Structure 1
Amino acid sequence: MEIVKRPATMKLPGAWFTGDAWADVIYRGEGDSRARANMVRFAPGARTAWHSHGLGQALYIVEGIALIQSRGGQIVEAHPGEVVWTPAGEEHWHGAAPDQFMAHLALWETDDVDWLDHVTDAEYSGPRLLARDLA
């Protein structure tokens, strides 16, 4: 057994995020392990840029209201306890609703992330579907 020392909370870069977001690395596998887990906290209205993951990503919503959209799809509104999966290579963004903070646990494998363009205010403000209605 090993007790893993966690690095300090990091402010996430403006090149990949609109608004203020911070991450705490929960686990970063070494050697043969590709596992990654970060607790990410978003200020109201903050969001990622469009991006995709080489092996997909799961988001477990911890608090607040998360907004998640796949390129060409509708915005999904997810609440605490809900899990949203984006498969490998699927372009998407995720962030907080405009009126409250949001935190999610992000789970993925490898550092193979393709960062793309920022989400426009028009894209961010589109109509929403509730995640529970899609399950």
Structure 2
Amino acid sequence: MSKNEEAVKNDLFGFGDKNVAYAKYFIGTCYLNGLVAPDDNIDVNISNVNFEPGCRNDWHIHHNGYQILLVTAGEGWYQEAGKPAQLLKPGDVVVIHEGVKHWHGATKDSWFSHIAITKGSSEWCEKVDDEYYEQLGK
């Protein structure tokens, strides 16, 4: 079993299904368990997102809203454009303001899980290339 795999797969917020709908915006495989979907009275999406080792999303920007990440298991990365990547561990909280270009995902050798609280729409940008990603944490 890979590093932190058991903790992520047994997360109390549920592992979820392969994130097929957004797969084109990720390198690697992630799983999504929707906890609260937007409806007529709530305009925020809350999901448990689980990343296999090496999985990360593309650079993206949230418009007309924000995103908050609550790290629940494993180890991952978060990076804003123009700033160094931050190593994330359980208990970390990341607040991403509207218009901030960023990406997040697992470290190359660990599973990673976070609750994503998202309001607004996402503009998807370029991939986090393998050469750059592989040098993180060295």
Match of residue 41 from structure 1: 50
Amino acid at match of 2:123: D
> 1:77 pairs with 59, 64, 87, which one?
87
SS at match of 1:123: helix
User: 1:2-51, CA deviations, whole angstroms, 9 ceiling, x for partnerless residues?
Assistant: xxxxxx62424432000011111110121142111010000001000000
Q: With structure 2 as the length reference, what TM-score do the two structures score?
A: 0.80
Which of 90, 93, 102 lines up with 2:112 in the alignment? 102
2:126 is matched with which residue: 117, 122, 129? 117
Q: Distance in 2 between matches of 1:71 and 1:126?
A: 17
Q: Confirm or deny: 8 A CA contact 1:52 1:92 kept in the other structure.
A: yes
Query: How many matched pairs?
Result: 120
- The AA in structure 2 aligned to 1:83 is V
Q: Residues 39 and 104 of structure 1 are in contact (CA less than 8 Å); yes or no, is this contact kept in structure 2?
A: yes
Is residue 18–residue 29 contact of structure 2 (8 Å, CA) maintained in 1? no
Q: How much identity, in percent, do the aligned residues show?
A: 27
Q: Secondary structure at the match of 1:15?
A: helix
Contact 1:75–1:126, Cα closer than 8 Å, also in 2? no
Picking from 26, 29, 33, the partner of 1:20 is 29
Q: Is the 8 A contact 1:10 1:24 kept in 2?
A: no
Runs of 4+, deviation exceeding 3 Å: 125-128
Q: What secondary structure is seen at the aligned counterpart in 1 of 2:23?
A: coil
